[in-house]
Amino acid sequence: MAQIEPLINPRDFPKDQVIWDTDAIKAHNPHRFEFRLLDSVLHLDSDSSLLVAHRHVPEDDFWVRGHIPGRPIMPGILMLEAMAQAGCIHTHMDYHLEEGRFIGFSAIENARFRGSIGPGTDIWIAGKMIRYHESRAYMKWQGQVLIADSTVICDGTITGMGI
């Protein structure tokens, strides 16, 4: 499969330059325990509508033992879920979704998996808001999951609705 142009160079977004930490994410994203797939937000540019989040994939993540024993590979659905969570956080940060609401993952378009991610890997989740409709809390977010060398491992367009 052909490589696509990355939205960002992860080296431009150091993991220690956090603008929203785990606690801030948890205040707006109801996912907990193994389903909280973002560690931090590293960048938000409202003018270009770009958000960059980060996650360190733990060596002992819940899927490691059973998702291809001997050669653990992060499930693609978890990469898509990480993008959906980043889109939800983007909505809270840029559009100030009302307290207690979140964006639920309702559709995916043009998802592609272009590589694999193993335990112990740092991933950057980068994306742009394509569309947001305030009264319905509807959003479309085009995102990518990248590794440190700027390789795009997964990309697609997430649709979400306010819940």
- C-alpha to C-alpha distance for 124 and 109, rounded to whole angstroms: 20
3-state helix, strand, coil in the chain (%, to 5): 20, 35, 45
Cα 139 from chain centroid? 14
Cα 117 from chain centroid? 14
* Structure letter (DSSP) for residue 68: S
Annotated catalytic residue 96: no
Structure tokens at 28: 């707006």
- C-alpha to C-alpha distance for 21 and 39, rounded to whole angstroms: 7
Q: What is the CA radius of gyration of the chain?
A: 15
Catalytic-role residue among 67, 90, 96, 133: 67
Helix (H, G, I), strand (E, B) or coil at 90: helix
Catalytic positions, written as ranges: 67
